[in-house]
Every structure is written in C-alpha cells, then in structure tokens.
Structure 1
Amino acid sequence: MTTRRQLLSSAALGAAAAALPVRAHTPFPPAEPNLFIGTGGTGHTYPGATLPFGMVQLSPDTGVERWETCSGYHRGDTSILGFSHTHLSGTGIGDLLDVLVVPGTGAIRLQPGAADKPGSGYRQRFADEHAEPGYYRVKLENHVAAELTVTERTGWHRYRFPKGAGHLLVDLSHLVLDREGARPLIDEAMLAIEADGTLTGTRRVFRWAKGRRIFFALQLSRKPDRITLIGDGDIEQPAGAAQVTGKRLKAVLHYDDAGKAPVMIRCGISAVDAAGARANLDAEAAHWDFDRVRSVAADYWHNALDVVRVEGGTTDQRTILSSALYHAQVAPTLVSDVDGRYPGLDGKVQNAPADGAAYSSYSLWDTYRALHPLLTLVQPERTKQLIDDLIRQTAQSPFGPLVWPLQGKETGTMIGWHGVVPLAEAQAKGVEADYGAAWPAIRKRSFDFAAPDKENSRGRDLYDRLGFVPADKVNESVSRTQEYAYDDWASARLARAAGAGGDADRLLRRSRNWRNVIDGRIGFARPRFADGNWWKDYDPIQLGHMPEPDWRDYTEANGWQATFLNQHDIYGLIAHLGGDAKFEAKLDALFSAPSTLPDNAPPDISGLVGQYAHGNEPDQHAPYLYAFAGAPWKTQAIVRRLCTEMYKNDPDGIIGNDDCGQMSAWFVFSALGFYPVDPVEAAYVFGSPLFERAELRVGAGRKLVIEAPGNGPDTPYVVAVHWNGGPWTRSWISHAELAKGGTLRFTMARAPNRAFGRAAADRPPSFGRTPV
C-alpha cells in the first residue's frame, strides 16, 4: 500500500528530476534483431530474407501440415523441405509458399517424404542456420550450403554443392496443406523453358485466397547440363520437352559437376502475368553479384530499423525491441509490378500511379490497432503510400472497405470492415489523401444491405434495424455488434470529410450500438436474441450460448474479453457499467480472474493474465483503460508486466500469432511508453516505458526523444511527465504533438503517484470528448 508520504515523495522526486541538467547522449546503435523470435510456439513468423514491405519473402519451409507452420516454418522442426519465395508473417491461416527450390545430390526425389523420416524424400536435416535482415543461410545434410537474399520483387539463391553431381528441384505443387491433410486444389499450372534458358511458370491456387495466381521467371548463373520437366503424377516428360501443363508440376535442373562453382538463382515473381514476372526480374536483377544484393538489402533494413534507437533496459529487451520493429515492417507486402500493375480486387488488372504502389497481406482486423498507428509515427512516407492504396482498392473492391486482401483476392477473413480505420486515423492525423474517393464504397457497405456480403459483414441489416446483431440469427453476434459499431465510428469521420453530414450523423448514432450487447445489470458483454431477451444461462468464460464450436457469440474471445472490446466510446462504457469505481474494479477482476477457458476455446486465446488474453487482439488495449477511470498507475503496472512476461528473446518469444506485426507493434509502442487505444482519436495513452532513453525519427528531419532517467525493473510507475521541458499533467498526448518532435520525459519510481492523471481534465479523450 502506498502511503501519503510515499506519494508526496514520488511527486517531489518528479519535480527534482525534471530540473536536472540533461547530459549529451549518443544512443546505442540499433540492436541486431533476432529473426527467430516468433518462429517457435505459435508466433507463426519466418526467418528468411525479405525487404521492408517487399513482394518476395524467400525463406526455408519446414512443414505444411500443421497450424504451427502457417508461415511454412517452425523452429522446432528438424528438417527443411526447401526454399520458397512467398510467406505470410504471423498469420493464423496459411497460404503462399510459391515456387519451392530444393538443392539436391544423389538420387532425384520428387516427393518431400515424411517429417519423421528425413531422407525418405527431398526433405533434409540441417545445421548452422543463420538469419539477419535481408539474408539467410543454412547447411543441409547433403552438404549443400544455401544462402538467400532479395530485392523487392526478386529472390536470390546461392548454392555451394559438394564435389560431384547435383540438381535443383523446382516444385510448383508445394503449398500449405488443408488441416484435414488433403492437398488443396491447384486447378491449372504451367512450366516452360524459354529460348534463353529462363524457366517460367504459373499456377492458380484455391487455398485461403481462392483463385489467386502467381507467375515466376527464374534464371541460373550456370547453365544446367539438362532440364527435366515433370507432369501430373510425377510423370517425366520426353527429353527436350520445353513446356508442360497440368496441376502438380515440377522441374529438375541437372548439373553433372555441381561442385565446380556456386550455382546462383535469381527469380522474379508477379501476381499479374508472366510478362510482369520477367519485367520485375529484368529491372531488379541485371547482374550476378549476390553479395552486392545482400549488402543493399542490409542497407534497406538498417535504415528501417534505425528509426528507433534506445538506451537502457537489458540486452534481451533491446533485441526484442529491434526484432519487433523488424516484424512490424514486413507487411503489408508489395503486390504491384515495376510497371505499377497489380491484380485488382474487382478481378481486373489495375495500375498504381508512378509515385505509388499496391499492397497485399493487409491483416486489418489485427493491424489497425497498433501497426498502422506505429507506421504513421515512424514511417509517415510509407503511411501516405499505404493510405492512397487503401483508398484505391476500397473503391475497386466489390465489397468496399478492405478486410483481409491477399494477392488480389478479398478473403473476407475476420469480422467487420476495418479497412476504414487506418483511413479515418490518417485523416485525423492530417495525412493528405483523396478520402472522398473511398466514401461511395464505404457508404455502400454501411447502408446498402442488398450489397454482397462475405462472412465478415453478415447481419448488417439486423444491426441497423434492431441496434444489434441477434445471437439466434448470426454467429459471433456480440463481437460483430461492437466491431461494426467501431467501424461506424471510423466511417462517420470519413463521411464528414467527404461532405456527407447526414450520413456521418447516422453512423455516429449507430456507433453507440455497442451498448445493446453489454448488459449493464450484470456488467458483461452478453448474447442477445432477436426478441430482445438476453441469454439466461450466461457464463462470461463460455464462448457462446450454443455448444457447437462453429457457432460462437464472440470472435476469438469470451464474455470477459468482449466486455472491454469498446475502443471509441470508453466514457460511455464506464457510465454503462456504473461509473469510475465500478469500471476500475471490473478491470481489476479481468486481470485477476481464474485463467480458465472452455474446451471449445480456439488456440488464438492465449497469453492469459486472469481473463485478459494478450496473445490475441480483441482486448489488447484493455491495460490502458485504467487511465480513462483516473487510475493510470494501474495501467503502468500491468503494461510493464506484459512487456517483461509476454515477450522473450527466444523462438517462443511472442505469446500468440504475430498477425502481420500487430503483436510486435504493441510491444514497440508499450516499450516506448504510450499506446493508441483508439487510433481514430489520434491520441496516445501513457503506459510504462521500458528503457531509459529512446530516439525516434518521426519524418522530415524531426526527432522525438523519450527519456526515463534511472528507469529499471523496479521502477514501473510514472510519477511525473514533462513535455519539452514543461510539466505535463495529462495521462495522454496527441499524435500531433509527438509528430512535431520534441522531448517527452518520464520520471519513474518504485511506488505510484496516484494523483497523476486522476483529474477528469487530465484523462484521455474518447468519442471526441473528455469526461468533463
């Protein structure tokens, strides 16, 4: 218990520390990231070579059968299948793994073989694995030394074979298996040997992104002695065959003396057509200097990681930060070719402007929360390009606002249409763009209930008419109601910017629908039926009123977690639950409840502290909600705990799926000392900084310095804050302030200052207002 003397001492300490002279600092260079963080457990990351937001992710694949290998790789596996050119980072569903290359010696093996029997097929044990930004190497059991690097649109391989014959297998049938173990459908594929020796090919895949196309053009530094094309059923084509079509195709490139000199590959890919793959290759691979490409890739990453430098903390914590910053810049992924063409969500080939680009792998249900806000702060130029792309693709998509697009296909995965959130956030933060161009498509999704639905937007008509999605009509109804309400909040801002005031008012009213699935009498989010009645046999630990696992009332959450899903009308939620004291007690209960889950809980609900689940996104903002009830010191305590307990410098160092960088972005923000509870509000709530000092490049030569002198493991509490030398009593700060650059100084202590941020006037804004 903190005494009044301790409290006053802490406040005095804050005033005294603020008056101390500031010494000159030369921050440590960025720590080297550990690319294996997240490759174990269920982090679902990969260690291979890519550039920031690049089209190619050239990485080893260790498995395709298990949920743990959604990215194609798991650190616990003991064998490698080969090296493919496209990967998803941290997702909970698998796809891609295009154009697998397998270096082999001895007998030709066309099937991978069993994971528990390396050597029964082309899969091999490995050793001496090394990964760094833009580069990967490993030694295979057959004594081939493999190295990988990349440009934006091309993958580069260098293989050093042992003395004697060797070969390269290109397996165009390799991809993520269905969970049942049956191969998903490839309905057409082609491989061809061009006149200049370039191997080209394509396939159409129906895995997650149904019907996506990939094209490639692959060139070799050493001409093979012969090439064998393999058709369906592993049938070898006649000698001299220059093309094969079918569904499950392969090619074998033979070298009678593979060990004579390194064999290098440069491979361009495209989601548009063969000409695009060849043009990407020609533009980005005009030489055979592997080390030069590696050096350029390292420079790209040095610049990307140098946007944040820190002092203090432990060596592991600095490595975790750098690794998180790395993972926060691998997606979204480039999908437009060098000429600007890309596969539009309308099924047509579209063109990005000369100064723009198109992107894929927008994991928006996850990344709107922290990743996109982080990019607005440390990558404003990239943010502008992403926002322009989101606007274009929103206007082009038959479904309107983006949900989870992957290589020209809208998967519609997860609920809501959260593509509106980064747009509204950017508009609130002053990013100039043609937001009005997206408004007609957003309006259609919001109000045209005859417009085509995907799973993500079911029940929109009932939500509009009844004020909530009824649990007896549509699954995941409680979460849908709240997330649709948040998208309405974001869309209202975009409507206002587009001059549609009446629509903005309607959306703003509808954004309050969250309260219709929060039963204020019991203080929980609760399934509600079309007749207005609540689920009677309610238990907040359960996932819904139906026993079937495929009919839940919450999305990857239960009643505890869904109760705090609201991000935009927090003072409304506080009032709905009975006021500050009851809300604070409810948060206390969230973090102290037994960490039990029902048998039908999905594996996504992980990283439990009480019933708070840090390993999944729905309530990742919940630790910061104490500040809205006037108790930011409790935010400080729980955030420090999460930063130190949920992240490790270890393959199992991310407590859940990284989800295209969202889990990593949460750490970056929280380790710096603030977090965007509601990105559309364009404000950050203070937490507990992990380091003594940080320097951020925030664009156009501006620098943000964050100081917490003497900060350590035993000083989690913020007892005073100063901004640019003056006292700052608020428990939050606006994006506009931080983006200008300046010095934010935290005074840390062992005991909390419960007076800091307690006054109503000092609490964070929400729903466009403060509680006064």
Structure 2
Amino acid sequence: MKLLPLAALLLATVPTFAQKAKTTENLVQYAKPLVGTARMGHTYPGATVPFGMVQLSPDTDTLSYELNGKYNPRMYEYCAGYQYADKTIVGFSHTHFSGTGHSDLGDFLVMPTTGPLQLNPGTADQPERGFRSRFSHQNEVAEPAYYRVRLDDHDILAELTASNRVGMHQYTFPQSEQAHIILDLTAGIYNYPDKNVWTFVRVENDTLVTGYRQTHGWARTRTEYFAMSFSKPFVSYGSRNLSKKQVYRGFWGRFDQSKNFPELAGEQLRLFFDFKTTAGEKVKVKMALSGVSTEGALRNMRAEVPGWDFEAVKRAGQALWQQELGKVVIESPKRADKENFYTAMYHAALSPTTYMDVDGQYRGLDQNIHRAEGFTNYTSFSLWDTYRALHPLYNLLQPQRNADMVQSMLAHFDQSTMHMLPIWSHYANENWCMIGYHSVPVVVDAVLKGVVPADQAQRVLDACVATAHQPRFDGISYYEQLGYVPEDKSGSSVSKTLEYAYDDWCIAQLAKKLGRTDIEAEFSKRAQNWQNVYDSRINFMRPRLADGSFRPRFDVLSTHDQGFIEGNAWNYSLYVPQDPAALIAKMGGEKKFLPHLDSLFTMHLPDKFFAETEDITRDGIIGNYVHGNEPAHHVAYLYNWTSQPHKTQARVRMILPKMYRPTPDGLGGNDDCGQMSAWYIFSSLGFYPVAPGSPEYALGSPAIHGATINLENGNTFRITVKNQSDKNVYVKEARLNGQKITRPFLQYADVVKGGELVFTMAGKP
C-alpha cells in the first residue's frame, strides 16, 4: 500500500467541496468541546475529527450499572464518561457517544502513572489508592482534535489528538524509575453485570500490542479490535485477571501469566507496561481501532498515522475541523454568539461515526464482514432524535455524506433478518431504542431533495414499506388493524401512533414522487391515523384501548404511564408536523389552538412532573415546553400556520439564549447526537425544517448579524440581517433575491441554488 503524507491523507477523507469553504478567520477557536460536559448535556471533551471512528476522551468515573444489586441511578450522569464537576480522571478511552441519554462504549482505557504500580482505579474521594489522578480545570484545555490535562497525582502532562481511526496520546513524564502505562480492558461506560464477554491481548514485540474486546451491553454483541503502538520500548509488562470465574487448566497452568507472557485472554484483564523515564520525556502511544480484525487496525494505523509527529496529527485534525466549521461563516459582534454557533457546528459533526477500515471492510448487522463499495459506512444512528433537524442539516451542508449515511441504512436493511431500516443502531447492532421508524423520514427526505441518486429511489421506497409493515415491531399489527396503537396492548401508544402516522406520510410523499399510486393511497390513509387518538371532547391526544374507548384515567400533564414517551399530552397534542393546518382545524381553529400553544411556554408545571422525570429534563424546560426532549422541537414554529407568525419569532429568540450558552453547563438537556445543536444552527440562521419530507423550511428569527452558507454544489447562500439587536426579534420584512416573501416559509430548492435572504428586523411585531 502506498502511504500518503499524513496531512494529505486526512484531508483526502473530506469531500473536495469542503475545501471551497474558505474564510480567513480561525473558526476552530470558537468551538468549545467542554460545552455540555456539566449536568445533562452528556458531551465529551476529548479529541476526535469530524465523524471520526475514534473519540479519545477522559473518563472521570467508571461506575457500575448496579449498586448493591439494584440499578445505580448515577449511571445516567456518565453517558459520555465525563462529568465536569468531578475532580479525578480514571483514564482515557477511545470510544464515546455524544449527548445521548444512554450509553455503551468506553473501549480500551489507557492511563499513565508513576510510582509503585497500582492496578485498581481507586475511588473519587481516595484516588491515591488506585491509578486514577486528581486534576484541575485550570490545567485542562479542550479544542477540536486536541485535549490536554495535567494529572496531578502522577506529575504527568497528558495530551490527546486523533485521526479518523487512530487515537494518539503524548505523555510528558517526570524522571522516574517507575513509570507505567496501564491498559484497562475491564473499564467501560455503562458497565452492566458481565458486560465483558471476552478480551484477548497479544504482545507482538516490545512496542506493539494487539487484541480485541467482546462486550454484551446496550449492543448485545459487540467486538472491537485494536493495535497499540509505543514510541519507546517498554522494559517489562504484566497483567491481572480480575474475573473470579477465570480458572486456568492444564497446559495454561504451567505459566505465570501475570508477567511477560506473550498472549493473554480472559473476561477481565488489566495490563501494565513499565518504562524508565527522564524529566520531560515524552512517551507516545497510538491506538488504532477496527471492527474487523487486528490486521485491519494495523492497516488503519499505518495508513493514517504512520509516524510519531503528534503536532502534525493535531494540525491535520484541526484543519479538518476548520473546513467543517467553514461551511457556514457567520457574522456577529459578540464572541459568545460565535462560540455558541461553532460549538453547535462542532457537536453536529460528531456523529454518526465512520464504521469501516481504510480498505472499506466493516462488520455488518449479520456479524459478517462486508465491504462498502462506493460509500463510507457509518454507525451510531440515534434516529428518534436526529431525523428532526440533524439529517436535514446534512442534506443542506453535506449531502454527499448524508447520501452515504442512507447507503449505510440500506446496508443495515439488507443485513437485517427482520427486513427493517435501523431504529437506533451502533457497531453492527440494533438496540431498538425509542419508538417510530424514523430512518424513514431521513431516507425519504434525502431522496426528495435529490441527495440520493434517482436510481436508488425505488430501493429506498421498498425498504420503507417493508419497515412500516414489520408486524413484530412495537404495536404495528394493532396500528394496521385499528388505525392506532391501543394502550392496553403496547405502552407509549399515543406517541407511537402519532410518530408512525408522520413516518407514513413521508412514505406517501416518496410514493407520489415515484408514481406508485397504490402505495401513496395506502400510506396517505395511514398518515391520518393521528386523528384516531385525538379526543375532541377535551382537545388533547389521549390513549385509546383495544375496544375503541378512550382510557378513563388520564392526566394531561403527567409523563408517567399516560401513553406518551419523553413528553405529556400537552406536548404531543401538537405533534402532527406533516399537517399543522389540519391539526389547528381539528382543535377548533386558531381561537382554541393559539391559547393551547401559548400556554405551553407560560404555564407552571406541578412538582409531581419533576418527580416523575427524576430531574432528567428539568434543565431543558420552559413552562411546559421541553426543549431538552425532542418531540417539541418543531413547536415554536407552529405559529407560522396561524395569523400570528410573529410569535414564532419571539419564541425562538427566547429559547436560544435560555437553552444554549458557551459554558460547560450551557446545554439545556442531552445534545442527543447533535439534534439539539442542529436546532440551534437552523434557528440561529432564521429557518427550520418542521417536517422532513417536505420541501419547505419555516421561517423564524435569525440570531446572527449575517451568514454565508458554502454549499457543496459550489453555490453560496447569503443571509443578511438588518437592524439586528437583542430587542429587535421580530421580522419586519424578508426578501429572497430581492423579492418580498409573503408567506413565512422558504423552499429548500431556493437555498441550494444560491442567492440572498435579507431579513429586516424590528422591535415590535
């Protein structure tokens, strides 16, 4: 294999259009990876590149899923492995989700230490009893593709950077006869009982170690391979097997496997590598990952980071981030605005993540090895969240990448025994998290916007129809028979009915485009099923039973056992994104609809609401509007379907500063793989995709002073904002290419062909 120079190879992984997005300003300085690391943002601060397979980041605790035989409620805090309030670091692991409400991963934790060897992590209150270390945020730096922290207990400066598939560590040691680098294969995020199925390590020589880890966690069967290379030979090494069930028999019992043994296997392995260091000596480590094999991991390492120039890897990674962030160049006199915007752009480009080796091989849903032909394979699709704004953002800013994501979903469908598109998939697994079949709006929106080639459209439609007809999935058979999901047969029934109906509408739009009148008729009818859970006597969506009656016990504010998921009747009664006009008519017209919508933002929730949600969503609530959970993300824009669109403008400008700040606690809820950030990006620019599958954006109120969107097709779309201020939140006039806009909507086609949108702002409606 001919190896390219590092910077050239990394830049070659980005579509050439990105290199057109030029700005003289360093945008990387504005992206703050520490935003969202406090409270419930669940982001990680470590080093990664856009959509990178490696997310090399510090973990501040390794809690067990169970505590005294019961679920440990603090596990929820550590979905990304890091909490800003913590005072110690356990180590640096190589895989992390960004902003999720559940987790897995945390693979291959590495920790440098000095002094007598300790192979237990210690505790947060007594870190000196283990290999963890105290640290201070004053000695911590987090930038895109770079992380640095001083480990106070070991007097070590730790620095991290990454390419797509390789994490690179640089540890500056003091003078020590007892320097160690620990590789912990027992550590992980969301450590279920018996999560580790098996680990294997092979010491190839005194600078190279390979192996794999098999886990049974959120992903029921996940195998990840690694190749670990040291810049300096270790003088000795050893291990400890922590599994009480592990018994060596026969031949294996003849050897002392705790020290200098070339191969190790077991359920719970921790390894150590010993060094002698001089003051200020830098010991570097490269960890390459693969879902295929250790050979694949080695190929990834040799292709992406063949040498030991840490600064070159960092520069190449930050160059990728500069290109990514430069797809939208905003103008604002406030640094905080730029930090909010480019941090959102950063978070929106963390996932889905690459999931294939440099030669195109990847592990499929069927656990066989496949090769991606003509596309990049991706994983970690949090579709219940990201169909709303993140994938529509990709259709606008990077359609080729989103086309590859659609191909990844179609490959998932082909490998699925249930013949379904993904629901929440990661690392060759489907974990079935959340409801709906929301890969449908993602793939349909991509086809209808011309992102997916026309010759793939029929294949996409067939996959959508098969998914919607899968009888074993979450109440679908009842939905098809009755026109709704009955609560006495399947929980969260109202949410399921409403979300299925929206997905069905998307299928009908694609069928119409392709002239499949039979499918269009079927799914247009199914798209009306939202009406079957609407109780006109109380003007709320309400759970129905299999006998057709509405369930008598019902609380419109409660989130517990009321037929909804991550929301209540007040929120979900506004979830008909495919036809807001019909919803308004159903609710009795504007006279009744507008007070309902107004009250969502102004009402006071009773304490029982927060007790039911265990404070999980408290950070993201304004009145009864739950921005921290996605079902209401479109709601502020619904005023555009009434005679009062100015209220959309006011609501959006109210939400933005309340839910987003450039501080560690600056996210009003989980970022959810970039969905929260995508909402911010669209809303700051002044428009939002209320119903992916529709060609329209709903206009709002831009929060920036101007922006240039550098489109993949070479065009630019310019947004100019006149009379902008914190008080001038109302749009007095909007013009597209000089023509006055008379309806508060914008067409996708008008944006991608380039042009200028001019907002004139005012302090009154």
Alpha-carbon distance change, 57 to 26 in structure 1, aligned in 2, over 3 angstroms = closer
Distance 2:431 2:586 in 1: 36
Amino acid at match of 1:382: R
Alignment of 1:733-748 (within 5 A): 733-748=746-761
2:302 paired residue number? 282
**How does 1:480-629 map onto structure 2 within 5 Å?**
480-496=496-512, 500-544=516-560, 546=561, 552-596=562-606, 597-598=608-609, 599-601=611-613, 603-606=615-618, 607-629=620-642
Q: Deviations over 1:736-758 (max 9, x none)?
A: 10111111000100000xxxxxx
* CA distance in 2 between partners of 1:525 and 1:604 (Å): 24
Distance 1:541 1:184, change over 3 A: farther
Aligned partners of 1:436 and 1:494 also within 8 Å: no
Aligned to 1:675: 688
Partner of 1:11: none
SS in structure 2 of the partner of residue 600 of structure 1: helix
Are 2:394 and 1:378 equivalent residues in the alignment? no
Superposition map of 1:361-510 within 5 A? 361-399=380-418, 400-433=420-453, 434-449=456-471, 453=472, 457-496=473-512, 500-510=516-526
**For 2:42, which of 30, 41, 44 is the aligned residue?**
44
Counterpart selection for 1:208 from 214, 218, 237: 218
Contact 2:97 2:673 survives alignment (8 Å): yes
The equivalent of 1:129 in structure 2 is: 140
Q: Distance in 1 between matches of 2:595 and 2:545?
A: 28
Q: Could you report, residue by residue, the CA deviation over 1:589-642 in whole angstroms, capped at 9, with x for unpaired residues?
A: 222221335332254434222211011101110000010113110000000000
- Unaligned runs of 5+ residues in structure 2 are 1-21, 64-74, 247-255
Aligned in 2, Cα 1:414/1:431: closer, same or farther, shift over 3 Å? same
Structure-to-structure mapping, 1:63-82, within 5 angstroms: 63-65=61-63, 66-82=75-91
Q: Return closer, same or farther for 1:27/1:369 CA change in 2, 3 Å cut-off.
A: farther
Q: CA distance change for structure 1 residues 675 and 524 in 2, over 3 Å: closer, same or farther?
A: same
Closer, same or farther: CA 329–230 of 1 in aligned 2, 3 Å = same
Deviation of the 1:388 alpha carbon? 2.3
In 2, Cα distance between equivalents of 1:675 and 1:749? 20
> 2:400·2:451 contact (CA, 8 Å) conserved in 1?
no
- 1:109-168 deviations in Å (ceiling 9; x for gaps): 111111222222111111300011111111101110011111100000000100113010
Distance 1:609 1:728 in 2: 31
Decide whether aligned partners of structure 1 residues 537 and 183 sit closer, same or farther in structure 2, where only a CA change above 3 A counts: closer
Query: Residue 264 of structure 2 is aligned with which of 244, 256, 259?
Result: 244
- 3-state SS of the aligned residue for 1:395? helix
Indicate the larger mover: 327-336 or 343-352. 343-352
| 2:107 counterpart residue number | 98
1:332-352 CA-to-partner distances (Å, cap 9, x unmatched) read: 000111111111112222210
**Higher deviation after alignment, 215-224 or 200-209:** 200-209
**Secondary structure of 1:660's aligned partner:** helix
CA distance in 2: counterparts of 1:359 and 1:579, whole angstroms: 44
Q: Which moves more between the two structures, 489-498 or 64-73?
A: 489-498
Paired with 2:105 and 2:643, the residues of 1 have a C-alpha distance of 47
Q: Distance in 2 between matches of 1:116 and 1:54?
A: 34
CA distance in 1, matches of 2:50, 2:312: 18
1:257 to 277, 281, 300: 277
- Match for 2:758: what amino acid? R
Aligned amino acid, residue 116 of structure 2: A
Which AA in structure 2 matches 1:312?
S
Change (3 A) 1:258 1:62: farther
Q: Could you say which residue in structure 2 is the equivalent of 1:690?
A: 703
TM-score (norm 1): 0.89
| Deviations 1:652-677 (CA, angstroms, capped at 9, x unpaired) | 10000000010011011101111000
Distance 1:603 1:482 in 2: 26
For residues 684-740 of structure 1, the C-alpha deviation after alignment (integer angstroms, 9 at most, x for no partner) is 111110011111112222111111122010100001001112211120101110111
The alignment partner of 2:404 has SS state of helix
Q: Tell whether the 8 Å contact from 1:230 to 1:244 is kept in structure 2 after alignment.
A: no
In 2, Cα distance between equivalents of 1:79 and 1:440? 51
Q: Which amino acid aligns with 1:395?
A: D
471-480 or 585-594, larger mean C-alpha shift: 585-594
Q: For the aligned residues, what is the CA RMSD?
A: 1.9
1:762 is matched with which residue?
A: none
My pick for the range that moved more, 581-590 or 679-688, is 581-590
Q: CA separation of 1:340/1:652 partners in 2, compared to 1, >3 Å: closer, same or farther? A: same
SS in 1 for 2:106: coil
- Tell me the amino acid that sits aligned with residue 738 of structure 1: V
1:293 — aligned with what? 313
- Check the 8 A contact 2:115/2:176 in 1, yes or no: no
CA contact (8 A) 1:88 1:660 kept: yes
Structure 1 distance, partners of 2:371, 2:437, is 24
Instruction: Report the alpha carbon displacement of residue 413 of structure 1 after superposing the two structures with TM.
Output: 0.4
What is the letter of the counterpart of residue 159 of structure 1?
Y
Q: 1:118 aligns with which of 118, 127, 130?
A: 127
**Matched residue type, 1:125:** R
Deviations 1:184-213 (A, max 9, x none): 421111111114741111111111111111
User: For residue 250 of structure 2, what is the aligned residue in structure 1?
Assistant: none
SS in 1 for 2:521: helix
Give the Cα–Cα distance (whole angstroms) in 1 for the partners of residues 53 and 632 of structure 2.
31
Q: Which residue of 2 aligns with 1:359?
A: 378
Identify the residue that residue 766 of structure 1 maps to in structure 2: none
Secondary structure at the counterpart of residue 287 of structure 2: strand
- Determine the C-alpha separation between the residues in 1 that align with 2:652 and 2:258: 64
Q: Deviations over 1:391-448 (max 9, x none)?
A: 2222322341111111000011000111111111111111133132244443222224
Structure 1's unaligned 5+ residue stretches are 1-24, 547-551, 753-772
> Which of 183, 196, 216 is matched with 1:170 structurally?
183
Give the deviation of 1:28 after TM superposition. Answer: 6.1
Query: Is 1:138 the equivalent of 2:149?
Result: yes
CA distance in 2, matches of 1:291, 1:282: 17
- Residues 11-59 of structure 1 show CA distances to partners (whole Å, capped at 9, x for unaligned) of xxxxxxxxxxxxxx99965352111110011000001000100100001
Q: Is the 8 Å Cα contact of residues 224 and 255 (structure 1) preserved in structure 2?
A: yes
CA–CA separation in structure 1 for the residues paired with 2:281 and 2:26: 37
Could you tell me the TM-score, scaled by structure 2's length? Answer: 0.90
Q: What SS is found at the alignment partner of 1:265? A: strand
Percent of pairs identical after alignment? 39
Cα distance in structure 2, aligned partners of 1:579 and 1:77:
51
Task: Pick one of 287, 293, 298 that aligns with 1:267.
Answer: 287
Taking a change above 3 Å as real, the CA distance of residues 309 and 106 of structure 1, as seen in their structure-2 partners, is same
Per the TM alignment, residue 503 of structure 1 is displaced from its structure 2 partner at its CA by 2.2
Among 146, 159, 165, which residue is 1:147 paired with? 159
| Alpha-carbon separation, structure 2, partners of 1:438 and 1:691 | 37
For 2:656 and 2:212, the matched residues in 1 are separated by: 44
Q: CA deviation at 1:308?
A: 1.3
Alignment partners' CA distance in 1, 2:678 and 2:84 = 22
